[in-house]
Amino acid sequence: MIDIVEFSDYLSNRVAKLRIAKGVSARDMSLSLGQGAGYINTIENRKALPSLNGLYYICEYFNISPRDFFDTESVLPEKLNEIVSDMKELTPEQLVNIGILVKGLIK
């Protein structure tokens, strides 16, 4: 079971990584969420945890689900979701080719 310190560390690091990947400042993100200018900074510096609603708004800001937020293996969940959405429009043959390409890139 994860303790509150581990959870706080994970949450603060995850928000920071996703924010940096999106290319926005903590201040701009805070204001975009309708919060004070230092809101995200307090989360990233482990001075506060967001409420459950706050976490949902953070996920919405990144265009990801809470499940994506807690998926530690997904570095760019928003981009991954976009790619998967686009792939749904491909033919079965195209999907097979994409699968081969991905496996080749992983090697």
Query: Mind listing the pLDDT tens digit for each residue in 38-75?
Result: 999 999 999 999 999 999 999 999 999 999 999 878 87
Q: Which one is predicted more confidently, 73 or 30?
A: 30
pLDDT of residue 99 exceeding 70: yes
CA distance 66 to 63: 10
Where helices occur in 38-76 by DSSP H, the ranges are 39-44, 52-61, 66-69
Q: What CATH code is carried by the domain that includes residue 100? A: 1.10.260.40
Q: What is the pTM of this model?
A: 0.77
What is residue 30's predicted lDDT score, i.e. its pLDDT?
Answer: 98
Q: Which residue segment(s) compose the domain that 55 sits in? A: 4-106
pLDDT value at residue 81: 86
Helix axes 77-87, 4-22, angle to 10 degrees: 60
Total domain count for the chain? 1
Question: Over 80: is that where the pLDDT of 3 sits?
Answer: no
Dihedral angle computed from the Cα positions of residues 89, 94, 96 and 102, in that order, rounded to the nearest 10 degrees: -90
Are 71 and 39 in contact by the 8 Å Cβ rule? The answer is no
